[in-house]
Structure formats: structure tokens, C-alpha cells
Amino acid sequence: MADRLRRAGIERYGDGIAVNVSNFNATADEVRYGLSVIRELRRPRLGVVVDTSRNGAGPTRKHSFCDPPGRKLGRPPTAATGIPGIDAFLWVKQPGQADGCAAGAGMFLPGYAYRLTR
């Protein structure tokens, strides 16, 4: 990933990276991954933001990504992560937005949003 980011111009144009956007991976796993990419880039000024909007239950056993059941809200958005290099936990994907299986991608489903809170 670091090579791809270099080719895309992160060293000149970027402030950091976002991980887990619109996904369900565990926060700790994404923190480790994001920090490893930044270390490989050798640019300590770059930060990481982690999308925690729907990762409270982690990924499914088969890593289903399209509106899987049983998912939960993750950590609330904050810039006070307590982890050097992790600039924020954000809800990039609005909880309740479909991935494209339960409804059209991006469509808000109140029932899906509610299930994320349980």
C-alpha cells in the first residue's frame, strides 16, 4: 500500500490515510494496519483516521462486506484517540446506509441503522 500511496503523490499532497472506510474490520486491527503503512512511508507527519461507524462487532466470519447482519456501531467519533499517529475515529460511512445489497448503495435504511444500535 505504501508504494501505491507514493505513486499517487501522498508525500507531496497527502496529510494522511483513512482506513476501514465502509468496512467492518476491528478498530485495533485497522490501527495496526494504518500505523504500519505510515511507518513504511517513513513520513511521521502523516496521520491515520479509522472509520468506526459499523465495526463494533468486527467482521463476519467470511468477511462479508455487503450489508451483513449482526454488525454494531463502533467507537463514537473523536479526535481524542489516545494513540499517537491516529488522528481520529470517524463515522465516514453514515450508519444505516446500505452497501448495495439490502437497498441501493448509499440509501439510508432506518431499520438497518436501528439494528446497528442493538
Per-residue pLDDT of the chain (118 residues; tens, 9 = 90+): 999 999 999 999 999 999 999 999 999 999 999 999 999 999 889 999 999 999 999 999 999 989 999 999 999 999 999 999 999 999 999 999 999 999 999 999 999 999 999 8
Q: What is the pLDDT of residue 20?
A: 97
The CA distance from 40 to 2, in Å, is 6
Q: How many CA atoms lie within 13 A of 30 on its CB side?
A: 29
Q: What is the pLDDT of residue 74?
A: 97
Q: What is the pLDDT of residue 116?
A: 96
Q: What is the pLDDT of residue 42?
A: 94
Tell me the backbone φ, ψ of residue 33, rounded to 5 degrees: -65, -50
Would you tell me how many other CB atoms lie within 10 Å of the CB of residue 37?
A: 19
How distant is the alpha carbon of residue 65 from its chain centre?
Answer: 12
The CA distance from 18 to 73, in Å, is 18
Question: What global pTM score does this model have?
Answer: 0.93
Q: Are 16 and 35 in contact (CB under 8 A)?
A: no
